Amino acid sequence: MSKITFIGAGSTVFAKNVLGDCLKTPVLQGFEIAIFDINPERLADSETMLNHIKNTSGSTCVIHAYSDRKEALRGAKYVVNAIQVGGYDPCTITDFEIPKKYGLRQTIADTVGIGGIFRNLRTIPVMLDFAQDINEVCPDALFLNYTNPMAVLTNVMNTYGGVKTVGLCHSVQSCVSELFKHLGMDTAGVKSKIAGINHMAWLLEASKDGVDLYPEIKRRAREKQNEKHHDMVRYEMMLKFGYYITESSEHNAEYHPYFIKRNYPELVDRFNIPLDEYPRRCIEQIGNWKKLKADLVNNTELHHERSHEYASYIFEAIETNVPFKIGGNVMNTGLITNLPREAVVEVSCLVDRNGVTPTFVGDLPPQCAALNRTNINTQLLTIEAAITRKREHIYHAAMLDPHTAAELSIDDIIAMCDDLIEAHGDWLPQYI
């Protein structure tokens, strides 16, 4: 019996999508679906929910909830990771409230920026624990990482964990369809090419029947410049730098030094930037859980339709040798020639029986590569901090972050990092 292990299965809605997809995939019938979470109540909820889907779909998969992580991993062929270390309370609150005291505002804080740095620092040790278990009990497993900060965690698992890891993000899948829908354009027959880094990959080409669609895309985007909408930051970046970015405007507002600025507070309104957006989402999700639990966990007639999540399609392609294309986060083994080789990049990958094979991109447009490198700098210094346990590298990562550096002095950045380290307490290892 082959085995798929899902770590962080207490994320019940996401587990429904990924594992519900597996239950509905013919070639995966008979697999063991192993689920693990540190919260036994949420783990039991997900087990119940998955059994409902199994019953209504007629799946022959075997669902097994584990209280021991190593046993959940033992013998796994595929591992899916969807953990969040520290949760909303206390860690997300800490990530937002302490920087706010220094006048540094954020929107999502899960990728780079000061919030992304500290989310990495508390998550990397846990991921390396996973890697140790995987190398012991399922060394040949393919590890699919859905956890943010995507680029850093995928890098650490490959570089320091010795685990064959691909990072998966929804932003590539939805990029073209959402852009075209908002602009009133038809996606039928559209050919596209996307590459860059996670949350800042670039729609390099969009064409139909050999005709470049970018002039029309930009014309329609300019027409929307004077109206408030959800994607104003990305449109501004496209019109100024030439290419559309995969991840949302609320994310990209904090990846650059141009949009959230104390000395120019009118920019937040002008570009419709939702400050403190992620804490609001967390509160809303917590508040909605009772209803979701009734809909998912207590519904014995629960049905599931296969979603757009990549995981089951990756497993299917490997099992059947029928190729499938994904946008994956992988080590930059010369794939994007004007980005650092030690970075993780997001590129098209072919999946078949050989596994996940990334495609060569070459040079990005120079301005796109330059913007990517501003975020890669912070990513690589964050990894250096986590691996060496040297506090000075936390400072370096923060001082090199574009948004943080644009707002705060060096002394304030260092003081803020010290406050965050102290506030995290046992959520962080000791730094010297």
Q: Which residues pair with 3 in a beta bridge?
A: 32
* Each residue's pLDDT tens digit, 300-343: 999 999 999 999 999 999 999 999 999 999 999 999 999 999 99
How many angstroms separate the first and last alpha carbons of the chain?
47
- Residue 170 a catalytic site member: yes
* Each residue's pLDDT tens digit, 118-156: 999 999 999 999 999 999 999 999 999 999 999 999 999
Q: Are 146 and 326 in contact (CB under 8 A)?
A: no
Q: Report the C-alpha gap between 193 and 269 in whole angstroms.
A: 32
CB-based contacts of 88: which residues, under 8 Å, 6+ apart? 279, 282, 283, 286
* Each residue's pLDDT tens digit, 46-59: 999 999 999 999 99
Give the chain's largest Cα–Cα span.
Answer: 61
Model confidence at 1: pLDDT above 90 = no
Mean pLDDT on 36-53: 98
**Mind listing the domains of the chain with CATH numbers?**
3-169 (3.40.50.720)
pTM across the whole model: 0.98
* Each residue's pLDDT tens digit, 180-206: 999 999 999 999 999 999 999 999 999
* Each residue's pLDDT tens digit, 71-92: 999 999 999 999 999 999 999 9
Choosing from 170, 199, 256, 424, which is the catalytic residue?
A: 170
